Homo-oligomer: A and B are copies of this chain.
Amino acid sequence: MNFLEERILKDGIIKPGNVLKVDSFLNHQMDVKLLDEIGREFHRRFKSEKITKVLTIEASGIAIAYPVAREFDVPLVFAKKAKSVNIDGDVYVAEVESFTHKNKNQVIVSKKYLSPEDNVLIIDDFLANGCALQGLVSIVESAGASVAGLGIAIEKGFQIGGRVIRNLGYRLESLAIIESMDDQKGTIVFKEQ
């Protein structure tokens, strides 16, 4: 069991409907030491790749992607969920459905920050149905850039997202893959990696 799986067992809270709350350390209150360790672990796993950009999606993804971008010493780009008047019209767009918020967002990245020369590591905190991640992949492809791989903190292995991304041929590394959760017993089973 790795450091993140141990922390999930220690501080994660299971709610009915296969909801795992990690907002005491990962996506509302954040343990920066843990996030730095996540950054080092993704660098260890992807350091053979010549990463030129780290791409994530607002909001909580930014805190996972920050230490990763630092380890690789490359810019961090985050996709925005709503069109801002501070963003040029010249953007890559993907339609993304949020599993958490049960709504659709247009996700945008300015064309200035992805180019065909880029080898992009996509980072996010959660992978469930994979719509957000597929949106980021399609934005990287739209830019003619390469997807070096995808790094996820927590994957819900019992949902389809991870299988879809891997079946598309992308290298997906999830630090913790949840096979099953039981909110009655309060138990979590991780996939052996």
Contact = CB atoms under 8 A, between A and B. Distances in A.
Interface of A: 19, 21, 23-24, 27-33, 35-36, 58-60, 62-63, 66-67, 69-70, 73, 75-78, 80-82, 84-87, 100-102, 109-110, 112-113
Nearest to A98: B84
B113 A101 contact: no
A63 B82 contact: no
Q: Closest 6 CB pairs between A and B?
A: A58-B59, A59-B59, A29-B113, A30-B76, A62-B62, A32-B70
Number of this chain's copies in the complex: 2
A188 B36 CA distance: 36
Contacts of A113: 24, 28-29
A14 to B, nearest CB: 12
Nearest to A126: B86
A21 B33 CA distance: 31
Contacts of A86: 19, 21, 23, 27, 100
Contact of A102 (B27, B85, B101): B85
A78 B100 contact: no
Contacts of A100: 84-86
A87 B30 contact: no
Contacts of A28: 77-78, 80, 87, 109-110, 113
A90 to B, nearest CB: 12
Contacts of A29: 75-77, 110, 112-113
A13 B152 CA distance: 34
22 contacts: A23-B110, A28-B77, A28-B80, A28-B87, A28-B109, A28-B110, A28-B113, A29-B77, A29-B112, A30-B69, A30-B77, A30-B78, A32-B73, A33-B73, A58-B59, A59-B62, A59-B78, A62-B63, A63-B66, A63-B78, A66-B67, A85-B101
Nearest to A83: B101
